[in-house]
Chain A
Amino acid sequence: MRELKFKPKSRWREFLGEKFIAVNALVALFSILLIFVFIFKEAVPVFTDAEVQEEASLHKMTFKQEYYEGRDPKWSWQPNSEVPKYSLFPLLLGTLKAAIIAMLVAIPLGVGAAIYSSEFAGHRTREIIKPAIEMLAAIPSVVLGFFALMILASFLQSTFGFVFRLNAINAGIALGLAVVPIIFTVAEDAMTSVPRSLRDAAVALGANPWQVSITMVLPAAMPGIAAGIVLGFGRAIGETMIVLMASGNAAIISGSFVESIRTFSATIAAELAEVVFGDTHYTVLFFIGSLLFVFTFVVNLAGDMVLVRLKERLQGRSR
């Protein structure tokens, strides 16, 4: 029998190896922290600087403003005007509209494809489908955006007769295509990792393949699917190039999905390059960046909490 005694030298190696891995894990944490501190620092004047607040206080960015005497108060994003207008409401509306359409497209497609691939597809089909869908994630978003700008928009307009060629639906569909692989990958992994024993038990009780997958595997994999949807939603909110190219970028207040939209991320991308350092406009763009950051953070946190609850319930430990 070999002796299970470690030599001091190998203990040293172990120690270093462990520390090295720990540092790797911490790098991500620190980067996130530093990025947040930097973005937030640039946004602070919104709360403290009187000069910035004159044009863009929290109140002015949220509520309708009477910009010109005698004209109706309104929400408006016109930062380069003689009377700069920094309403965030039209941008929030646009961001949500695009994300909603994207999720409406991506959830059925992603989850449906995942069910098919993990439950029904034969081995060979699956070996083709899975990498093909995951290839979608490898397409640069600027290419997807260009596709939506040139081809998808014309197709949708000629099919449905949209007045605005570039609109929330057009951008949302393209955005959905970018989100599908995220939902698909996570959901598929969750479903394939449902234990064999559960499936066997269901089959033994006389369930057919359809019943096994819908009534048994799907609920059991729900935490993973929910996590995929949350991750996908985060991407839909933050994705920039697609909406910049395909949405029309008009900051309009309207409930209609066939009118143009302007999103938070596209606004930052379009305007940040040429604003004056420390200017009101600059500060507001960083404030939007902080909002996006906080927003994704909250969404991920909420998703995590849902996940934990679901896991507890599925494992029969619900309170």
Chain B
Amino acid sequence: MKKLMIAGAALMVLGAMAVAGGAITIKGSDTLVRLGQRWAEVYMEKNPGAIIQVSGGGSGTGIAALLNSATDVCQSSRDMKEKENKLAAEKGLKAYRVSVALDGIAVFLHEKNPVTELSFAQLKGIYTGAITNWKEVGGPDARIIVYGRENNSGTYAFFKEHVLDEEDFSDFTQTLPGTAAVVNAVSKDPNGIGYGGIAWATGVKYAAVRKGDNDPAIEPTMEAVSNGTYPISRDLYWFFAAKPEGELKKLVNWALSEEGQKVAADMDYVPLPKDKAAANVVK
């Protein structure tokens, strides 16, 4: 009996060591979770013995986990906030950031909407409530029905920061859980407008977006996001608690390699331009 218990305890200790020592955990952004999982699959196939666990929960959740040392890699669709940086410094962490892929945020319109392009100023007006009628932006005389994301989403935060200059969304913005719901709503609402990741649109059309009033209006295509001409694009990050070493370094450098970036492109994410990917490699 005693022997059995000792053996059991030893097994448990061994098991715990295997989990704690070998496994890499990746956690965070729901935008990135599919890519993280695919990367993990391909990487584990090539490196037998490596164990990677990937989970979502949102960028905020991932960063919180990183700060609590509950994950090795945090995936995030936004940069760390000042508050989070402060917290990291308090805990003695030197957060290390690597941009691993790109993402564009498209503006969706109903297919019958005659409006084809919008400027940043117009988008800001529409989403802060200063512009409420389509005729003010060259469309029919109808109220603009504004759809957006819930305030816990990285997409919401990014749109607010880059298009709204941190002003508040109009109180009339209808927020929906998930980009798919936004696309659905706009596809059924002739006066609707929404935003979300560029891989999502079915049943709606994209508005071409211009940054300044004299800039050309750009369609949200993979190429335009990748070469930086599409104005509402963002970096998708991996954060580490310190400069990655050993297995972590190997993993991130593989994700940045031509092979890793091809996996991203296959999953409908926008790969980094080659020179940028090379510059991000951890030395």
Contacts and interface: CB of A to CB of B under 8 A. Distances in A.
Given A150-B184, A249-B174, A164 B60 contact: no
A260 B64 CA distance: 33
B235 interface: no
Interface string A147-175: 00110011001000001111000000000
A163 B145 contact: yes
B166 interface: yes
B176 interface: yes
A90 B83 CA distance: 28
A270 interface: yes
Contacts of B250: none
B152 A270 contact: yes
Interface string B168-184: 11011111110001001
Contacts, number: 82
Interface in A273-314: 273-277
A211 interface: no
Nearest to B83: A276
Contact of A273 (B143, B152, B156, B181): B152
A274 B191 CA distance: 31
B145 A80 contact: no
B189 A252 contact: no
B188 interface: yes
Interface string A215-246: 00000000000000000000000000000110
Contacts of A150: 184, 188
Interface of A, helix, strand, loop or mixed by DSSP: loop
Contacts of A166: 174, 185
A34 to B, nearest CB: 25
B166 A78 contact: no
Given A163-B143, A164-B145, A249 B185 contact: no
Nearest to A74: B171
Given A165-B188, A250-B173, A274-B58, A81 B168 contact: yes
Given A82-B166, A150-B184, A250-B174, A273 B151 contact: no
Interface residues of B, number: 32
B196 to A, nearest CB: 16
B58 A260 contact: no
A137 B200 CA distance: 33
Interface string B241-277: 0000000000000000000000000000000000000
Choose among A77, A154, A164, A274 the residue with the greatest number of B CB atoms under 10 Å from its CB. A274
B145 A249 contact: no
B175 A249 contact: yes
Contacts of A260: 172, 174
A273 B57 contact: yes
Interface string A78-91: 11111001000010
A76 interface: yes
A219 B151 CA distance: 49
Interface in B71-89: 83
A43 interface: no
A288 B152 CA distance: 17
B182 to A, nearest CB: 11
A248 interface: yes
Contacts of A249: 150, 174-176
A14 interface: no
A80 B185 contact: no
Choose among B58, B145, B173, B188 the residue with the greatest number of A CB atoms under 10 Å from its CB. B188
A271 interface: yes
Given A165-B145, A245-B181, A250-B171, A271 B188 contact: no
A271 B177 CA distance: 10
B61 interface: yes
Contacts of B156: 80
A111 interface: no
6 contacts: A77-B171, A163-B145, A166-B185, A245-B181, A250-B173, A276-B64
Given A157-B189, A251-B171, A260-B174, 19 more contacts: A76-B171, A77-B171, A78-B168, A79-B151, A80-B151, A80-B160, A163-B145, A164-B174, A248-B175, A248-B176, A249-B174, A252-B171, A259-B172, A271-B150, A274-B60, A275-B60, A275-B152, A276-B60, A277-B64
Interface of B: 57-61, 64, 83, 143, 145, 150-152, 156-157, 160, 166, 168-169, 171-177, 181, 184-185, 188-189, 191-192
Interface of A: 76-82, 85, 90, 149-150, 153-154, 157, 163-166, 244-245, 248-253, 259-260, 270-271, 273-277
User: Closest 8 interchain pairs by CB?
Assistant: A248-B174, A274-B152, A274-B60, A80-B151, A270-B150, A249-B175, A274-B58, A250-B174
